[in-house]
Amino acid sequence: MPELRPMLATPSTHVPRGEEWCHEVKWDGVRALGSLDGGAVTLTSRNGNRITPAWPELVTPPTGVRDLVVDGEIIALNERGVPDFRVLAERMHVRNVATVARLAARITATYMVFDLLRLDGEDLCALPLHERRRRLAELDLGRSGWQVPAEYDDGAMLFEATRAQGLEGIVSKRRDSTYRPGERSHHWLKLPHRHRGSFVVGGWRPQVGTSDRLASLLVGEPTADGLAYRGRVGSGIGAKQSRALAELLAPLARASSPFADEVPRADADGTWWVDPVVVVDVDTHGLGYERLRQPSYQGVRTDLTPEDL
């Protein structure tokens, strides 16, 4: 397989409009290039590592194809039927054959193939996306564990639908875009969803090398079993927010963790625990995760108490 790297999308905050754009679901999985050469399928990660042994259910070649290179995302569904990276995490680095087989039987992966880069010796990267997609749609992927995801004309509709379903977001692509390996292109735009929620502060960590400069918060979610730990939030806490939070939390210091479950040692070490009475708003990536993903502090909710949550 040629030493290719996946083409990357540029982050955006607005869904582009116009007939020149098509739109796809942004999958919460593992990006991979797939190749078929001499009857054998090889899967390669975004950074060029061979990851084929981890995904035995995805190495059956498409029917009637002798040679190809595709781009896509390996996904698995969580208990809600939504693609979820954390479901794949247990499998990503396993190479022991017996362990891989056991995990594959329990967590079935699917390869969502959204681009075709080579077919039967022909390099297709210079062709426009709509032509590459047309040829991809003509392939027989029925027995391979591969699927070609749908594309949509109405990006705004897809953006709202994926938000409502708790999906990761969308990717918008120009129909005339060529495939430029390894490049981050403005012809591909990614629009991940950010979700805002309210959480209770249970502790804070100082900036490395200091004892009083608040750098991050440890937050939790009230449950029937007590305050469940949801993660550490540092993004969005600048100098001004740090001083205000430190002043607010200082009178609430306590000797032990207020969380009902065990806080990972990497988060607990050096933490100053506080009484769980302060509520803050946090933006996060995705819904339904045990730990907040890419959380960003948004502010204190003086109008809410933990009981309100």
Could you give the residue numbers annotated as active site?
26
- What is the torsional sign of CA 165, 166, 171, 172? positive
Burial of 249 per CB tally in 10 Å (0-12, 13-18, 19+): buried
Q: Beta partners for 43?
A: 34
SS3 call for 176: coil
Phi-psi region of 162 (alpha: psi -120 to 50; beta: other; left: phi over 0): alpha
Q: In this structure, what token pair is assigned to residue 195? A: 């979700």
Terminal Cα distance for the chain, rounded: 53
Rounded CA Rg of the chain:
23
Greatest distance between any 2 Cα atoms in the chain: 70
SS3 state at 64: coil
Cα(137)–Cα(128) distance, integer angstroms: 15
In 3D, which of 225, 19, 39 has the Cα closest to residue 130? 19
Chain centroid, CA 222 distance in Å: 25
